[in-house]
Chain A
């Protein structure tokens, strides 16, 4: 292909589109891994406070969960934004829904991040016998 003039570059939509794909690929590993560990190999019968606490004792799992949280959340939020974009046309409604989306998105992301980063396992309760 010949290129005559400057190509348009960037823009939010290209970025968003590409992000959906990149995050998707990474999420395949992260989310499926997470599901496998938490819901298949272990089951919710085993999972309790101690389980999680022990897991977050390791920086690896903290990072894992943090990355997963951010990617999945931003991926999902942008997905929802696309859906809103499709179906909500009235100006006012759009503003309301998109603002709500941003607010809820921000608050929950902050909550998730906070707990992953600041969680301190009560040392006494860290028990042996966990992976």
Chain B
């Protein structure tokens, strides 16, 4: 199967403006977009840069804008896309080169919500007990691989890059609703601002973008409700 891969390229060391480059690639229908990119890299143009590692949707390296939607390149098969594939870097982050974006700001927001269990009491000899129901309460948000597909698909984030973004909220949710955690108050305080959860306008692009199938908007809604009910 012959496909045309159109890649938005930019090398700040050399180019003044981003530009589109087109490559013709022979692929198997069951190949991933990542395979197509690697084909370009290995056989057509060695200067192309992108991130990838696990190649099966677990490490979160290769989120990018593929045919108008944020996807992991290693999790979309080319047969889903047809003969023209357009690839751009994630929106809203500075581009380092080609498809590689600067994620430092993204991780800073992740760190801001204190993404670690907060529990001051000394732990027991064995495990802290947690019922399967309590465990299920936050299961969905434990799956996050911090790929940033959600945050960079969110129009609210494009409009204002200072928005903490769905990924950070998802990770806050993971702890706020963990029965072992005692730090909910601190995290909720971080999220209770105009740049926190309240900037989410329930647009749902995040949910569609999430390669882990996390119901991001639901997590955000639960955090909003937690804040609302503790305020009432």
CB-based contact B188/A8 at 8 Å: yes
**A2, A6, A10, A18: most-surrounded residue (chain B CB, <10 A):** A2
Check A1 for interface membership: any CB of B closer than 8 A: yes
Which residues from A are CB-within-8-Å of B177?
1
CB-based contact B198/A18 at 8 Å: no
- When chains A and B are docked, how far (Å) is the Cα of A1 from the Cα of B181? 9
Known: A18-B228, A86-B156. A8 touches B179 (CB 8 A): no
CB-based contact B184/A13 at 8 Å: no
Q: Contact mask B189-232 → A, CB, 8 Å, 1/0?
A: 10011101011010000000000000000000000101110110
CB-based contact A7/B185 at 8 Å: yes
- When chains A and B are docked, how far (Å) is the Cα of A87 from the Cα of B157? 11
Which residues from A are CB-within-8-Å of B118?
4
- When chains A and B are docked, how far (Å) is the Cα of A7 from the Cα of B230? 7
B197 to chain A, nearest CB (A): 9
Of A7, A11, A17, the residue contacting B184 (CB under 8 A) is: A7
Known: A17-B198, A17-B224, A85-B160. A11 touches B192 (CB 8 A): yes
Check A91 for interface membership: any CB of B closer than 8 A: no
CB-based contact A1/B159 at 8 Å: no
Which residues from A are CB-within-8-Å of B186?
5
CB-based contact B160/A1 at 8 Å: no
Check A125 for interface membership: any CB of B closer than 8 A: no
Check A89 for interface membership: any CB of B closer than 8 A: yes
Interface positions of B from 167 to 182, Cβ below 8 Å from A: 176-177, 179, 181-182
Check B166 for interface membership: any CB of A closer than 8 A: no
B228 to chain A, nearest CB (A): 6
Known: A13-B192, A85-B160, A89-B160. A1 touches B182 (CB 8 A): no
A68 to chain B, nearest CB (A): 25
Check A127 for interface membership: any CB of B closer than 8 A: no
CB-based contact B182/A9 at 8 Å: no
Of B188, B194, B196, B198, the residue contacting A7 (CB under 8 A) is: B188
CB-based contact A4/B228 at 8 Å: no
Q: Contact mask B71-91 → A, CB, 8 Å, 1/0?
A: 000000000000000000000
B227 to chain A, nearest CB (A): 6
CB-based contact A4/B184 at 8 Å: yes
Check B183 for interface membership: any CB of A closer than 8 A: yes
Check A28 for interface membership: any CB of B closer than 8 A: no
Interface positions of A from 78 to 131, Cβ below 8 Å from B: 82, 85-87, 89
CB-based contact B192/A8 at 8 Å: yes
Which residues from A are CB-within-8-Å of B198?
13-14, 16-17
- When chains A and B are docked, how far (Å) is the Cα of A16 from the Cα of B194? 10
Check A3 for interface membership: any CB of B closer than 8 A: yes
Of A4, A8, A18, the residue contacting B189 (CB under 8 A) is: A8
Which residues from B are CB-within-8-Å of A15?
231
| CB-CB nearest in chain B for A12 | B194
- When chains A and B are docked, how far (Å) is the Cα of A89 from the Cα of B163? 12
Residues of A within 8 A of B (CB): 1-11, 13-18, 82, 85-87, 89
14 A–B contact pairs at CB < 8 A? A1-B137, A1-B176, A1-B184, A2-B184, A8-B227, A13-B198, A14-B227, A17-B224, A17-B228, A82-B201, A85-B199, A86-B156, A86-B159, A87-B160
* Apart from A15-B231, A17-B224: 7 A-B pairs, beta carbons within 8 A: A1-B137, A4-B183, A6-B185, A9-B231, A11-B193, A14-B228, A17-B198
